[in-house]
Structure 1
């Protein structure tokens, strides 16, 4: 599933091959990915305009045009953005293709079509679409995170993955961050100490910085992500056997030695 680092990679891809280029043609190969906009309106509003510098908030990519509407893209479970020449044959999972000036092209490619594209006709419409999102995980400060956690009785992993609380983190990132911070994913968020929430913030900053650089959550040998899918996976820090369970409805992996469960009082 694309998370913040993946979408930041898509943002860079769009900036590299689309920024400043005219949209010569919009081709909708599968209208099922359009959310709240028709094929006709999408073409009418976008063709002839230029893409401006794209932005990202959490898992959302905002592709603004010159003085006109913005395309808001969400990638769901399997979506991605691909820079490819318009002359290249369509991939079977290409859903919307933007043919650009200078022989460039951008494609929204998605197998499962759980999310898709929206069109916002103004900055107010952009803000309305993103109104339910919390602060971007890559920019939230230590004090802001502490305040956010302190007001929630839910499990800390649930809070990290709640897009209305903190935008951009998914299952892989949440597990990696909690493992690095040595916090059990089922800990109650409002019971974390100042030291623990500071540790969590530091781990989040480091994991996001390295993941954004890679354009994905790396599966390195020194990362929990590099061991989580192995049936006999072991903690790369202490060597203990990893545990698996469900937290926030998602498969969760942690180290029982490094991430102790909270004692009941």
Structure 2
């Protein structure tokens, strides 16, 4: 699933491919990726518009223009690509936006669980994003502690709750908690200040590295690089990794390192 680093990578694709460019054509190959807008209206509203600089909040990407804005959520399998108009179109390329200068922006999505919205103005963008918490990237320690103060439930559930903290998904949460040596099912209220500081510090390190890579890297020194092995072991201590369900998602952790 695309998480904050992936969407930051898509923001870069959008900026390089479409920033400052005029829309010369829109082809909706599958309206199943549109949310709250018809294919006809999307084509009509975007035609001739010039894109401004895109920005991201959590797992959402916003592309303003000199008219409406596109608001993207990539669900489980969505991605943005920059192509030439004569490049072969893949089966899962759902939306093609042709730009002046000969570039084409493509939204590719196999499962179509989320998709593309059209926001008439800044107020409409704000309404779409209204239920999100602050972006996880660059969140300072004091605000992080305030967000978790009095929080019920487990720490992984808190980290992946987009209304509390926007941008973290399953892979990031597991990686952060493994680095902080905190079990994912620990109660937030049961964590002391030192443990919460470790979680915050690990979040910053993981996000910095992941944003540079454009994804959560599957490095062998990371939990992410081991979790899908046939017999996964902890990159730190070499003991077998545990796997279960936490916050409704498959969760991987080390029983030895994360007590």
**Same fold by TM-score, threshold 0.5 exceeded?**
yes
Gaps of 5+ in 2: none
Aligned 8 A contact 1:150 1:191 in 2: no
Number of the residue aligned with 1:93: 92
1:110-121 matches, within 5 Å, as 110-121=109-120
Which of structure 1's runs of 4+ aligned residues deviate more than 3 A?
none
Alpha-carbon shift at residue 139 of structure 1 (Å) = 2.5
1:3-152 matches, within 5 Å, as 3-66=3-66, 68-152=67-151
Cα separation, 1, equivalents of 2:88 and 2:254:
46
Gaps of 5+ in 1: 261-265
Alpha-carbon shift at residue 151 of structure 1 (Å) = 2.2
Alpha-carbon shift at residue 17 of structure 1 (Å) = 1.0
After the TM superposition, which of the residue ranges 192-201 and 54-63 deviates more from structure 2? 192-201
SS in 1 for 2:105: strand
Cα separation, 2, equivalents of 1:217 and 1:52:
28
Root-mean-square deviation (CA, aligned residues, Å) is: 0.8
Cα separation, 2, equivalents of 1:253 and 1:225:
9
Cα separation, 1, equivalents of 2:45 and 2:205:
40
1:207-263 Cα offsets, whole Å, 9 max, x none, are 000000000000111100111111311111111110001001111000001101xxx
Alpha-carbon shift at residue 150 of structure 1 (Å) = 1.8
Alpha-carbon shift at residue 199 of structure 1 (Å) = 0.7
SS in 1 for 2:101: helix
Cα separation, 1, equivalents of 2:140 and 2:25:
41
Aligned 8 A contact 1:172 1:217 in 2: yes
1:191-214 Cα offsets, whole Å, 9 max, x none, are 221111111110000000000000
Cα separation, 2, equivalents of 1:239 and 1:207:
21
Cα separation, 2, equivalents of 1:72 and 1:242:
38
Cα separation, 2, equivalents of 1:40 and 1:220:
44
1:20-61 Cα offsets, whole Å, 9 max, x none, are 110000100000111000111111111101111000000000
TM-score scaled by length of structure 1: 0.96
1:57-83 Cα offsets, whole Å, 9 max, x none, are 0000001102x1100000000000000
Number of residue pairs aligned between Structure 1 and Structure 2: 259
SS in 2 for 1:169: coil
Alpha-carbon shift at residue 89 of structure 1 (Å) = 2.7
